[in-house]
Amino acid sequence: MFKKLAIEYSMAVGQFCEPRSPWQRGSIESDDGRLRVDMPRKTKLSNYTDKDIQDLAMLYNNTPRKCLGYQTPTEIILNEIDVALANVNLALSLRL
């Protein structure tokens, strides 16, 4: 299904993990383990406020990752946004 979507929308296709194969998705398993420290299994989300969830997301999104060259996910997405905006600005300047 993902490959079909990637072709249909001209997206780059990454590697997709097989079901029930946790060794193929190491960083996801690692993140799940870190999350379980703060939110053990069978914990009800109703026990947490929106701010609690936002704080956890901020913590994880601002933690450097080896798979990202020791950059944070936040740094990566901000860089991608900067590149996209630069491309838009370039395209707009070429139209003038």
Q: Is the model more confident about 15 or about 80?
A: 80
* DSSP secondary structure of the chain: -HHHHHHHTTPPP---PPTT-GGG-HHHHHHHHHHHHHS-TT--GGGS-HHHHHHHHHHHHTS-BGGGTTB-HHHHHHHHHHHHHHHHHHHHHHH-
Share of the chain above pLDDT 70, in %: 85
Instruction: Output the pLDDT for position 96.
Output: 67
Q: pLDDT band at residue 52, thresholds of 50, 70 and 90?
A: very high
Mean pLDDT for the stretch of residues 55-68: 90
Q: With a cut of 90, say whether residue 64 has pLDDT above it.
A: yes
Q: With a cut of 70, say whether residue 5 has pLDDT above it.
A: no
Residues contacting residue 23 through CB under 8 Å, at least 6 positions apart: none
Q: With a cut of 70, say whether residue 14 has pLDDT above it.
A: no
